[in-house]
Amino acid sequence: MKSLITQSRKHYRRFYRLVTIAVILMMAVLTGSLLLGDSVRGTLVQRVSERLGKTETIITSGTGFMSETLLQHPSMKHSQGYLLMDGFVSVGEMLLPVYVWGIDTDSLASDEVMVNEPLYAKLSTLDSQLSTFVLHLPSLNLIPSGSLFVSKSHATQMRVRVAGVKSVEDGGNLLLKNEQTLPLNVFINRRQLAEKMELEGKINLILSDDIIEEEQLSACWTPEHSGIHLTDSSLTYDGVFIPQDIVEKLSAANSQPSTIYLSYFVNNLMADADTVPYSFVTAINEWQGEPLEGQDMILSDYAAERLHVREGDSIRMDYFITKQLKNLDTREKMLRVKQIVPLAAFREDSLLMTDFPGLTRVENCTDWDSDLPIDMDRVQKEDEDYWHTYRQTPKAVVAYEAVRADWSNAFGSATAMRFQSPNLTPQISHLTPQLSPSDADVRLYHPRAQGLKGANEGVDFASLFLSLGFFIILSAILLMKNPLVEMFTLRQDEIQLYRQLGFRDKDIRNGLFREAFSVMLLASPWGVVAGLLYSCLTLWLLGNVWSGATHTDGFALHIQPLTLLIGIVVGLAICALTLWMVVRNALKPRTSHSSSPKYRTSLVTPCISLLITIVLIAANFLFFHDMVLFIVCGLLWILTGGIFLRVEVNRQATTSIRSILNRTQLMWLSIRSSLKQHLLAYWTLSLGVFTVFAVGLNRPDFSQAVQAIGGYQFYVDSRVPIQYDLNNPAVRKKLSLNELPDSTRFLSFLRHTQDEASCLNLNQVSTPTVLGVDLKEMEPFGLNTDAEPNPEPSTLNSQLSTVYIDEEALMWSLMKSVGDTLFYQNERGDEVPVVIAGTYPTGIFHGNAIMSSEDFRRLWPKESGVEVLLMKSSRPDEAAELLAIAMNEYGLHIQTVEERIKMFFEVTETYLIIFLTLGGLGLLLGIFSLMVIVRKNLAARTATIRQYRAMGFSERLIGQLLFRENLLVPLYAVCVGAVGSAISISANVGGAGPVTLLLALAVLVGICLILYYGIQYMIQQTINKQQTI
């Protein structure tokens, strides 16, 4: 039996050669795609290890800092402290955003840094001789830059020398974000950095190789570690403003009332014609054991003297308050002098004085550096004298509740607290346990599980490439099936013989199956090898030629034996199923037409189908403009084409019976005799052409996306949060932007940086970065606010915040839909529900969730600086240049909106190119399979050809007859498929430019030519084989 099978395989090797090719191709695409999935996932997992190193726990301090002494606790034995900040490197005119890591090292001198490999590579491409560069760092202060009285929010800079390159193994690619893109890292001596930033002994990040739990952190953390100076009698905070939560917690914990202090810098204290300008005033809830309430004011004798007031007199106090983005507003408050006390009384209580660096650490009033527009002309000699002697000693004390609302800010509502201790028990032992690390924004998380989850649940390249290569698999199956059908058709006599010899059909079927399947089995290892090559090539292409789709390089092949096994088993199952169907069909008794078959010749069905298609197209054009509906119309068109082909062939062939015979009818009759195969050719080609062209030409309409941005011309990304409203003329003057054309307008966005949810991130994302903006301003951007939020029941009782997410990110990165809920952590560390209320078209904000600024401030009040701006101007280039120069210390990345949209569209474009490449290959394979069908048809018509010859038909005429009947359907299929694809892209005609359209036309002509010459060649070959004269 074995030798019989071997002999048969050898005898029918010309068929089995094609089967082998088809099995190898199918197996290659199948296993290759699965391997690709594993490899991309493996690479992402590897990236998680690379970016985290051995880190198991990350401890952050939010906008504040921690003392490095926290690291001395035994729980922190395997922990490293870092000062991490966003910075940027300027090389020539190029700005590169970088992460600056202050690390513990003795090997880096003060002006030396190490860079990671990606940054080194980038710097080398900019300047191969580069050994030094300017590093810009945001000016980090203990006082958050968003609070009032802090002016220096932009960057400081330092020229540094590259002392070395930190390798991946050495933690060079450290990154806390869940992204696969390699970060650009600069490593600098932490102590040097801290010194430069005046943050000695401070860190803002701890990476631990151990898993540290909340309880362990709470056990080793003390308020002092976060700059909360808690003594038995008082509390002060390095960040000046004590968070409201702490104030409330400690007030509640203390059995006796606590004294709350809130210092402020007021513009004027006025009484009649007398004014004392620019004074520190402290709000307090009690004075010397007595509550201070309402309009009561305790005035220093110094101020009373200057204002010529006595107890009971009224004083007007005016001061600035900030709204959004330090837009100042002046408030007045009428107060009554309750008591006049000696200035020494204020000086005795150090808590009444607060250290605002820009204001208090200067020698003269004229050196005051703050956001406030201080009119120095109003500062008199006596003010300077006071400053020289008493500095920030308040001139008055007012009631805390009277000004709390105005003077509090997102960072806190007090500048100090004093605790009453009547029993003389140490307050500190009682109060310290009341505070937890999260009160000081100190939070920990375990990034590895989260990172691995994102990597493992990221973009599924296996499914993606299986879909992209689906047409190749389908064509390979056709290519496998057709030679098998042809071979078994030729072996009908053999099958009959076996039957005559007494073999049961089951035995014959098994024998034939074993024979053909053995070939498939032998081919499958080669298919797996080809699959490996396919995945290697695709990984290389994804990292290089097609890097536009992933923005990632260095994809490595990861082979999972189980995946390989699945690929092989599925591939062989497909082979077995295809073979089984073919063998089963081959053993079916040949039907001789015992009665005339009924042919459907009525045009009613195709006409109805055509009518429906036309009505749908018209309705879609006039009313819906829906892309999916256009695709459906295209498919309907192809269906109509198929129905029409079937009916028309029958009609023409049936008509010919009743009329005089002609050559055209010969063709129709021949087509009808093998209508099944012709219809198979029709569906293969029309759907192939439709898929490839519909996808290839359905390019995102770049121009539409550019138009839908309210006329804004530039997208500006600031490395340093901008705390000002750039539309404000005073701010423009302050920032040297007063030469901006008057027409220049900015739209500002707050940003809560979370996961990158654009198509550039391959990891699965659960919380995209949020942009806060006035939603009214977003109307031109096509924000779809119609959808009703449908929150999860558990969120119904909470105050709901809503976001809008672009369609692509919602569908692909988040895999959510409108009405779903996302869960973000607010600044207090609580998980808050945020409902997806609607979508907006994918464009410049792709991957970001848009939230109203009110909701944003409620969730993240401390993130008050603008990080994203849109700019429009009548003289755009000039405005952009001026902005870049004036704000060069902010590390602005200014892009035209076209550039930014193009960046995202490039991803879609690249995927389309991949699809086109694979789809084109599939189509070519489909055409090749079609040729096999044609060859089979021709082989089956040897007798016909002989008869034609015997009847005196010339070779040319026989060739013509065969050519027409074999070419008509494929050409018809190509045309119907092309028109169908044209219908499907009607919604987006502008997307494909003239070059693409011309290219598509050329490809279409190419396909027709391949069909024309391919079929002609095969017919010629067939005729030549039988040619005698």
Partner 1 sequence: MIELKDITKRFADGQRALTVLDSLSLHVDEGEFIAITGESGAGKTTLLNILGTLLPADEGQYSIRGEKVEVSDETGVERLCHLRNKEIGFVYQDHRLLPQFTVLQNILLPTLATKTTSTEEEQQRALSLLEFTGILPLKDSPVTQLSGGEQTRVAICRALINQPAILLADEPTGQLDVANTQTIATLFQQVNTQFHTTIIMATHSAEMSKVAKKTYLLKEGKLRVKN
- Interface residues with partner 1 (CB under 8 A) are 592-596, 656-657, 660-666, 669-670, 672-673, 943-944, 946-955, 957, 1028-1029
Cβ distance to partner 1 smaller for residue 755 or 965: 965
**Separation between Cα atoms, residue 420 and residue 441, nearest integer Å:** 27
**Separation between Cα atoms, residue 888 and residue 899, nearest integer Å:** 20
Shortest Cβ distance from residue 676 to partner 1 (Å)? 13
Residue 432, CB-side half-sphere exposure with 13 Å CA sphere: 17
Cβ distance to partner 1 smaller for residue 602 or 947: 947
Cβ distance to partner 1 smaller for residue 611 or 657: 657
Cβ distance to partner 1 smaller for residue 502 or 952: 952
- Residue 811 makes CB contacts below 8 A (sequence gap 6+) with 817
Shortest Cβ distance from residue 946 to partner 1 (Å)? 7
- Helix (H) or strand (E) segment spanning residue 159: strand 155-166
Beta strands in 108-150 (DSSP E): 112-116, 132-138
Pull the structure tokens for residue 446. Answer: 């375990």
Q: Using DSSP, state whether 870 is helix, strand or coil.
A: strand
Shortest Cβ distance from residue 497 to partner 1 (Å)? 18
Helices (H), 551-603: 561-586
Shortest Cβ distance from residue 951 to partner 1 (Å)? 4
Neighbours of 793 (CB within 10 A): 6
- 852 in Cβ contact with 775 (< 8 Å): yes
Cβ distance to partner 1 smaller for residue 275 or 960: 960
Neighbours of 988 (CB within 10 A): 17
In 3D space, the residue among 454, 538, 545, 555 whose CA is nearest the CA of residue 761 turns out to be 454
Range 875-880 contact pairs with CB under 8 angstroms and sequence separation of 24 or more: 875/741, 875/743, 876/713, 876/714, 878/741, 879/714, 879/740, 879/741, 879/744, 880/713, 880/714
Cβ distance to partner 1 smaller for residue 667 or 983: 667
**Separation between Cα atoms, residue 187 and residue 163, nearest integer Å:** 10
Shortest Cβ distance from residue 602 to partner 1 (Å)? 21
**Separation between Cα atoms, residue 335 and residue 804, nearest integer Å:** 46
Cβ distance to partner 1 smaller for residue 565 or 661: 661
Neighbours of 536 (CB within 10 A): 17
Query: What CA–CA distances, in Å, run from 626 to 373, 441, 636, 689?
Result: 54, 48, 15, 22
Cβ distance to partner 1 smaller for residue 6 or 664: 664
Cβ distance to partner 1 smaller for residue 129 or 595: 595
Range 370-374 contact pairs with CB under 8 angstroms and sequence separation of 24 or more: 370/148, 370/149, 370/150, 370/151, 370/265, 371/148, 371/149, 371/150, 371/151, 371/326, 371/328, 371/723, 372/148, 372/149, 372/265, 372/267, 372/320, 372/328, 373/328, 373/730, 374/278
Shortest Cβ distance from residue 677 to partner 1 (Å)? 13
Cβ distance to partner 1 smaller for residue 717 or 955: 955
Shortest Cβ distance from residue 1016 to partner 1 (Å)? 18
Query: What CA–CA distances, in Å, run from 523 to 16, 19, 482, 527?
Result: 10, 9, 17, 6
Shortest Cβ distance from residue 1022 to partner 1 (Å)? 16
Tell the residue number behind the tokens 């607010």, with chain if given.
Answer: 826
Shortest Cβ distance from residue 688 to partner 1 (Å)? 27
Cβ distance to partner 1 smaller for residue 369 or 955: 955
Shortest Cβ distance from residue 662 to partner 1 (Å)? 4
Cβ distance to partner 1 smaller for residue 301 or 955: 955
In 3D space, the residue among 19, 33, 37, 34 whose CA is nearest the CA of residue 918 turns out to be 33
Cβ distance to partner 1 smaller for residue 406 or 648: 648
Shortest Cβ distance from residue 592 to partner 1 (Å)? 5
DSSP state of 811: I
Shortest Cβ distance from residue 693 to partner 1 (Å)? 34
Shortest Cβ distance from residue 960 to partner 1 (Å)? 11
Cβ distance to partner 1 smaller for residue 486 or 808: 486
Query: What CA–CA distances, in Å, run from 734 to 366, 737, 739?
Result: 17, 7, 12
Shortest Cβ distance from residue 973 to partner 1 (Å)? 21
Neighbours of 935 (CB within 10 A): 21
